[in-house]
Structure 1
Amino acid sequence: MNSKLKAFCTIICLLMLFWSHHIASAQQPISQQAFAIFEQHCLDCHGEFGSYSDVLTIKHKDLIEDRSVIPGQPDTSELYLRLLGDTDTGSQMPLGQEPLDADAIATIRRWIEAGAPDWEAIPKPERRFITTEAMLKTIHTHVTSLTAFDRSFARYFTLTHLYNAGASDDNLRAYRSALSKLVNSLSWGAEVIKPTPIDQEETIFYIDLRHYEWDIKSDKWYKIEQAYPYGVQLNSSTYTTLCQETDCELPFVRADWFIATASLPPLYHEILGLPETDKQLETQLEVNVAENLKNAPGVRVWRAGFNESGVSVNNRIVERHKSRYGAYWKSYDFAGNVGSQNIFTHPLDFTHDGGEIIFNLPNGLQAYYLTTATGERLDEAPINIVSDAGSRDPIVRNGLSCMGCHTEGMKIFKDQMRSVIEQNLNPSYDKAQALRLYAEKSEMDSLVREDIARYRQAIAAAGGVFGGSEPIQQLVKQFEGPLDATHAAAEVGLETDDFLQNIRENSTLQDSDLLVLGVQNGSVKRDAWESQFGTAVSLLNLGKHTNRTLERITELNPELPRNKKLNDGYFTVGSTKDEVVAVQGTPKSLSQRSFSYDGSSVGFENDRVIRWYSSPLNPLKVRIVPARDTPNKGYFTVGSTKDEVVAVQGTPNSLSQWSFGYGGSSVNFKNDRVIRWYSSPLNPLKAKMIPEN
């Protein structure tokens, strides 16, 4: 065959391939073609779990019922018109993105002209159940594709159980987006790096710990392992090999659990490594608040004040400082509006009751920090100072609540202070300094726009949506809801019928709360399922449960007797929820992980106390008792144990696994030993440095 004939045959083959693809595309139902466009361009915002699902949901029934689409009439269908450009009812879609190309718009038009047939009426291929062993082999294949050096930094998040349980494509899409946003919002890495799917179904995601600096200073994954209640050492040689390759006991965790847990304290604080006081945080971010306020108003710090805010009950002052990675915003919030809490008469020497800090991470996303008046870190804010009025649960919890409020980065506000200062002819404060500090509107607006733009760029890189509602909040509620048999079965890696058959055949499982899963519409609460999970895994011969929650509690206070009812009028680390209620009474508000008592809070894991904050306005009845043989030298130092600190300093008013707080002062621990402290002049610690011999 000569060269010309070969070339001719090649061209004919290419043309045949092109026309076969064209014919296949043309034969695809127009409804599926339209949905493919919606799926690619619209569902992150307007899917069932999208950020703007409250405005419009791309579900066929909804589009027809609310007349966004009028079958047969594209020129009067609002959805189609908004693809062409702005209308009287809103801006061109997709919002903030490039307009759809002409072919895509033409496809949507043809779909509407054809009567807008329902893509949901076309049966979808049945999903193949992904076994635990298949999941393990997929992860192992990926791990072994890495260099031997890189494998110990490889970790994975899974959505396999949700896929097996029949979660909708919309739901899975929302989880993927939320996982990327949260992982990058817990990162000190310089870039936004999305978790990488490693399977065809996109249910297993790979991360490199080094990308997020989770390997620096302390092993952040170890903290995740400790908090994870669903860890199982599986009866699988693949699992054993995988653990060896990654040098890790739990190389993967479920993404839905991670999203629901790492978006809230204590894990939110632990992964980010947020210190116990705002002063320590400011040192970390190279922000000197006192020096900025004294010497650099209008240069390194700008301030505004107002009496109306989305979360503050009373007056609020906001302050922007330059920081290492962009902006460091600090709010001052008040329990009242009179006396020194009247910001309009005390713009420089007000007395605040708490605050919120928002600061840029190196990748441009934002992190959050709640504080007391003296700068101690809080898990949740006192409801008499700030509240989430638009939520079913009004308590502002660090991390999750802040993300939900700041989906557009910094919120735009209107300063009321500067004009008041300008009009005050004979103020009792330094008017010139106040005018230097409280910025002109144009200057403050420019700074806010700069910070919004930084956040917008970062959230786009993470694959998230700018603005709207926060999908992470929706997914946390979903995770905390009850489980039916299908979801419970998927969480242990079994198909539903096999799982229920095992329950029916096992007398111990029948005596548990799980028997209800076999009845019609039966379900089990998340906390009940979590408490039964280890038993179920063991009786189903799936492996050994590796719940480390009690290990965390033991690290806090090894001498505490467990499971013992306290009758001395106090509760402590390891106390149950019932014991807290018996001592403290009914909480003002509660969630699965915390009780709140008018500014004070108690945090739980596996229904046992692991942290608290005791407000001086409403102190908790808490106590830590040091071991009997603990010496009291009158001071503690670097290397002292927690018992030795308590023997000298007493019960801390705030407590977590890694630190004790004492009214503005704080002590930090590693391996149960003091590694550093901050001693506030308002409440100095009995700490002493001992010179080495």
Structure 2
Amino acid sequence: MIFTVYRTWIRGLCWVGMSACWATVASADLDSIALTEVKGILRSRCLECHRAEASSTDFDVLDVESLIKSKTVAPGDADGSALMRVITTDDPEVRMPQDLPALPAEEIEKIRRWIAGGAKAFPEDVQRPEVQQQEDAFAGLVGVEYVLKQILAHQRKQKPDHQRYIRYFSCNHLLTRGATRDELNLQRDALAKTINHLTYERDPVELEIIDGETATVFAVDIRKLGWHADVLKASDSFLATKSSLDKYDLILLEYPYGIGYEDSETYDRLEREFLKPSEMVRQIPYLRSDWFCSTALQPVLYHDIMGLPHTVSELERDIIGVDADEELHHERIHRGAVILSGVSRNNRAAERYSAPHGAYWKSIDYSSNVGSENIFRDPVDLHGVGGEMIFNLPNGLQGYYLADAAGNRLDAGPTAIVTDKFAEDKVVRNALSCVRCHDKGIKPFKDVVRPAIESLPGHLGFNKKQVLALYPEQDELSALLKKDTDRFLGALEKVLGRPQSIEPLVPVTRRYLEDPLLLGTVAGELGLEDSEDMAAVFRSRQFTSLGLLPLASKGAIRRDTWEDYFDQVVHQLGLGKPVVPLDAISRRNYAPLGVGPDITLTTTRGTRLFGAGDKIAILVKNNGKLPIFIELIGTSTRGENIVLVPAGTKLSPGQEHRFPEEGTLTVKAATGQEFITVFSSDQSFVAGTRYHGKHTADRYVHDLSTINTAPIVKKTLVIETR
């Protein structure tokens, strides 16, 4: 660790060698949802080439009658259908979609079942609402003006003291490309489920649909979620443009799709009446619901919104309110174990503790099933390599936490031990993987330890009586599991307004995070209905340098690539003024297209992996021909920021700045990642503000209104300690 000790030193201590409300929208039946799923697969994977308007095809892939007439699909005969042959063949010259990844096995199976079941017609897409008297600022754009006008109308209905606490989400962008009612219902349910998993308030919070039957724009009062409370304070509130940040501010800082529409009268009114009075850290009128569900349930946002500390002991003491060691010592817990589970590759134990809001479950996971990791060798004294913590929230839903053997918080579990069947890369990420898996709450299981131990004689090498005290009879364990499941499902029914028929987060987040993005998809996300002209745009010089060329040749890009360059695409196309996520923790690097300084950020060791005792210095070099200005920030393993080199520091052409100017930093024996971030510009810029709080990573925030004339380049070096 480098920066934790450095902070102590600059405070004056001795130098020690620095260390490092539901609308009545009916629930879809499962058959309708299955048809919607198949339509969604064909839309995302095949529509780019096989649509009615395309000259390269003689059928429309979303029109079942067209598929049958062209003999692409033979109802009731999956194996005899041309569609099945081209999506399952190993011949790369024949397989569809061409030049793109093959369809996953589960998607192929859904298509097979649809054809075998008679290839029923797909549900119709929801019709896009019309906007009367469209403003010139939104010419050629679909949906954006509609959403903004819905928000403005809703704001004007609110009491003055309520307006500033209302926040908005939308899935209207899906209508540009096409979406069925079932798809929109899943978006709504996923959003409702997500926000209620991100609160410590007791009452379930309902979404308010503000655009009637279309049901694509939603409002929520963040006071009901507890998101209005300040969680980070400015280190120098006198100089800061905003003295504190609330939980919603943390979300805004990470949002990659923010756009301002300066030539729009609607946006101007919204800015005056809502955005500025609300004092949000970024003036963004609404968030995409699919982005929010997919991002807010993952680190860093999940940990910070929920205020989850860095260790299990702090979690139990400060958040859950359980003294686990004391409860275990007095055998006031219920334990069970399994040899095989749907998540862990090896034997796994689980302990249940009574908690203020219901139950607290803690798993003990192992990296193998042999030696000391064979749970039957000593089912009393367990020493796993990590675990998952699940605790009831006040509203009856569940919170999640992953930890290593030492009880340190993890962002993700190692795939050698646990896997997520819903994730493309199989990585278990807190808490998205957990919420998707625990769709009905705690998973029921049958303990294998007590039945095995009961029949054995004494003198087993461990205390049999203690084992039987810790591991209850299966009837007792099952009753507790049912109690916890009923609590969760009851809470979820209140959140959704009905029993959950299908888990919504799996399809919504997988579509957002994992579906390849084709030209038509990204055009739709930009609000552009016609994607044909976009191909030529992405062939232009300014876009090829972004790595977006595949979009011009019927290829695909990944979601992270699109997020990384979205603001620059918006700028180049003149669609509005992008709100750059410059200070997002999830965006470690940022370089405006074709502008900004050319810098190198490295260390004197020329590596990013260090061991205890290593001595290093940080180097920033100006490789350009003009002077530049820099600001250097360090971030510790616990997310604490410190200014290493203040804003305004000038580097001449070819000049290298060293930190510290004299001596070196000594790396301490602590594992984890630290970050060194340099902000640089051709012009002097206003320093950012550090915001600090408890159980929440620091934020270093710049006032974007002061830097628009001087684009800033952000570059981050990851320092990893062994």
- TM-score of the aligned structures, taking structure 2 as reference length: 0.62
Structure 2 residue aligned with 1:280, among 294, 300, 314?
314
Aligned pairs for 1:579-598 within 5 A: none
Structure 2 residue aligned with 1:251, among 280, 285, 291?
285
Asked if 2 retains the 8 angstrom alpha-carbon contact of 1:407 and 1:466, the reply is no
Map of 2:400 onto structure 1: 368
Question: Is 1:48 paired with 2:36?
Answer: yes
* CA–CA distance in structure 2, aligned partners of residues 500 and 538 of structure 1: 15
1:289 partner letter: A
Map of 1:214 onto structure 2: 227
Q: Larger % of helix: which? A: 1
Asked if 1 retains the 8 angstrom alpha-carbon contact of 2:413 and 2:428, the reply is yes
Structure 2 unaligned segments of length 5 or more: list them. 1-23, 42-62, 78-117, 131-140, 232-245, 590-597, 611-633, 647-663, 676-688, 697-722
Asked if 1 retains the 8 angstrom alpha-carbon contact of 2:173 and 2:527, the reply is yes
**Residues 253 and 628 of structure 1: CA distance in aligned 2, closer, same or farther (over 3 Å):** closer
**Residues 316 and 468 of structure 1: CA distance in aligned 2, closer, same or farther (over 3 Å):** farther
**Residues 195 and 572 of structure 1: CA distance in aligned 2, closer, same or farther (over 3 Å):** farther
Asked if 2 retains the 8 angstrom alpha-carbon contact of 1:231 and 1:546, the reply is yes
Structure 2 residue aligned with 1:294, among 329, 344, 349?
329
* CA–CA distance in structure 2, aligned partners of residues 258 and 137 of structure 1: 21
Asked if 2 retains the 8 angstrom alpha-carbon contact of 1:161 and 1:487, the reply is no
Aligned pairs for 1:83-102 within 5 A: none
**Residues 131 and 359 of structure 1: CA distance in aligned 2, closer, same or farther (over 3 Å):** same
* CA–CA distance in structure 1, aligned partners of residues 299 and 288 of structure 2: 18
Question: Is 1:233 paired with 2:260?
Answer: yes
Structure 2 residue aligned with 1:452, among 485, 489, 494?
485
**Residues 262 and 610 of structure 1: CA distance in aligned 2, closer, same or farther (over 3 Å):** farther
1:451 partner letter: D
* CA–CA distance in structure 1, aligned partners of residues 642 and 25 of structure 2: 63
Any idea what the Cα deviations from partners look like across 1:628-672, whole Å, max 9, x if unmatched? 89xxxxxxxxxxxxxxxx978837523589xxxxxxxxxxxx946
* CA–CA distance in structure 2, aligned partners of residues 485 and 541 of structure 1: 18
Structure 1 stretch displaced more, 445-454 or 238-247? 238-247
Secondary structure of the 2:477 match is helix
* CA–CA distance in structure 2, aligned partners of residues 323 and 653 of structure 1: 32
Q: Which has the higher contact order (CA 8 A, sep 6+)?
A: 2
Map of 2:178 onto structure 1: 166
* CA–CA distance in structure 2, aligned partners of residues 384 and 336 of structure 1: 9
Any idea what the Cα deviations from partners look like across 1:404-433, whole Å, max 9, x if unmatched? 322221111111112333324123333333
Map of 1:430 onto structure 2: 463
Question: Is 1:654 paired with 2:672?
Answer: yes
* CA–CA distance in structure 1, aligned partners of residues 284 and 495 of structure 2: 25
**Residues 355 and 234 of structure 1: CA distance in aligned 2, closer, same or farther (over 3 Å):** same
Structure 1 residue aligned with 2:374, among 342, 349, 355?
342
Structure 1 stretch displaced more, 208-217 or 501-510? 501-510
Secondary structure of the 1:157 match is strand
Structure 1 unaligned segments of length 5 or more: list them. 1-35, 54-58, 68-115, 574-608, 614-623, 630-645, 658-669, 678-693
Aligned pairs for 1:227-626 within 5 A: 227-235=254-262, 236-241=267-272, 242-248=274-280, 249-283=283-317, 284-297=319-332, 301-388=333-420, 392-422=424-454, 423-463=456-496, 470-480=503-513, 481-496=515-530, 500=534, 503=537, 508-509=542-543, 513=547, 517=551, 521-550=554-583, 552=585, 564=601, 568-571=605-608
Asked if 1 retains the 8 angstrom alpha-carbon contact of 2:254 and 2:583, the reply is no
Asked if 2 retains the 8 angstrom alpha-carbon contact of 1:224 and 1:267, the reply is yes
Measured after TM superposition, the shift of residue 394 of structure 1 is 2.6
- TM-score of the aligned structures, taking structure 1 as reference length: 0.64
* CA–CA distance in structure 1, aligned partners of residues 26 and 506 of structure 2: 24
Asked if 2 retains the 8 angstrom alpha-carbon contact of 1:44 and 1:174, the reply is no
Secondary structure of the 2:173 match is helix
Asked if 1 retains the 8 angstrom alpha-carbon contact of 2:364 and 2:382, the reply is no
Measured after TM superposition, the shift of residue 136 of structure 1 is 1.2
Asked if 2 retains the 8 angstrom alpha-carbon contact of 1:137 and 1:238, the reply is no
Measured after TM superposition, the shift of residue 154 of structure 1 is 0.9
2:197 partner letter: S
Any idea what the Cα deviations from partners look like across 1:204-223, whole Å, max 9, x if unmatched? 11011122222235211111
Map of 2:187 onto structure 1: 175
Measured after TM superposition, the shift of residue 673 of structure 1 is 5.4
**Residues 674 and 536 of structure 1: CA distance in aligned 2, closer, same or farther (over 3 Å):** closer
Structure 1 stretch displaced more, 238-247 or 400-409? 238-247
Measured after TM superposition, the shift of residue 266 of structure 1 is 1.8
Secondary structure of the 1:210 match is helix
For these two proteins, the number of residue pairs brought into alignment is: 511
| RMSD (Å) for aligned C-alpha atoms | 4.4
**Residues 313 and 394 of structure 1: CA distance in aligned 2, closer, same or farther (over 3 Å):** same
Structure 1 stretch displaced more, 465-474 or 142-151? 465-474
Asked if 1 retains the 8 angstrom alpha-carbon contact of 2:380 and 2:467, the reply is yes
* CA–CA distance in structure 2, aligned partners of residues 431 and 121 of structure 1: 60
1:294 partner letter: H
Any idea what the Cα deviations from partners look like across 1:152-183, whole Å, max 9, x if unmatched? 21111111211222123332222111111111
* CA–CA distance in structure 2, aligned partners of residues 525 and 436 of structure 1: 52
Asked if 1 retains the 8 angstrom alpha-carbon contact of 2:364 and 2:387, the reply is yes
Asked if 1 retains the 8 angstrom alpha-carbon contact of 2:300 and 2:586, the reply is no
Measured after TM superposition, the shift of residue 566 of structure 1 is 6.0
Map of 1:110 onto structure 2: none
Secondary structure of the 1:193 match is coil
* CA–CA distance in structure 1, aligned partners of residues 129 and 228 of structure 2: 37
* CA–CA distance in structure 2, aligned partners of residues 257 and 553 of structure 1: 13
Asked if 2 retains the 8 angstrom alpha-carbon contact of 1:276 and 1:376, the reply is yes
Structure 1 residue aligned with 2:144, among 110, 129, 132?
132
**Residues 49 and 122 of structure 1: CA distance in aligned 2, closer, same or farther (over 3 Å):** closer
